[in-house]
Structure 1
């Protein structure tokens, strides 16, 4: 009788092993699928980051060019302002000299001539309240 029971128990053991093997196979399959999805998400995230990197590098290039252009424009305008300041100084000197000669002539001839002075308000827009200090900037100044 023991031999009759033994095949029955070995049959149920075989069934248990089959069930364990089936569960193990399904778990392995599920793990593989999960790993595959994880790799796909990771790859997609990497592609998104690379795309964002490219976009940020392009924006950085554009901003660097704009900064360079503004710097060039600043230097151009600064040079023009310096020329205009020099012209103002020269013209003011000439006018003062002419006014002085006119006063001398008027005094010598006994004439009363009213020569208005140059109002300071007209000169103020061209005179800076502080010495000229150039602002230096470069394209790589804003890179992090």
Structure 2
């Protein structure tokens, strides 16, 4: 074999090797693309589920907020009525010559979220005393 044939043979082997490397590289890239596409599909599904959950929570929030406003208005109205009735009772007592002692509203009725904690109740960790 002459040197020129040896050089041609090496070039030919190198071309074959380069083609194989390029093919492997394309296959690897395609696998990565397939994996990423699967991940995209999975994330899009999760996005739909999360959006549904957000919509549900938002709906519940607005419903609770509306109910809370109604309850607050009812509370204000009842408090005003109670104060009016207490004033009326005091006036009747004054007119009749005796004093009527009307106890103050318990703080737990005014601010029920500040109920005293009981040691006998299981603590879920949600409410700290």
TM superposition score normalised by structure 2: 0.76
Quote the Cα distance in structure 2 between the aligned partners of 1:114 and 1:90: 23
Q: 2:10 aligns with which of 20, 23, 35?
A: 23
Unaligned runs of 5+ in 2: 114-129
Which residue in the other structure is 1:108 paired with? 95
How much does 1:117 deviate? Answer: 2.8
Which residue in the other structure is 2:36 paired with? 49
Quote the Cα distance in structure 2 between the aligned partners of 1:119 and 1:16: 108
Q: 2:85 aligns with which of 98, 111, 127?
A: 98
Please state if 1:87 is matched with 2:74. Answer: yes
Which consecutive aligned stretches of 4+ in structure 1 deviate over 4 angstroms post-superposition? none
TM superposition score normalised by structure 1: 0.69
Q: Highest CA radius of gyration, 1 or 2? A: 1
Which residue in the other structure is 1:71 paired with? 58
Structure (1/2) with the larger helix percentage: 1
How much does 1:67 deviate? Answer: 1.6
- How many positions carry a matched residue from both structures? 113
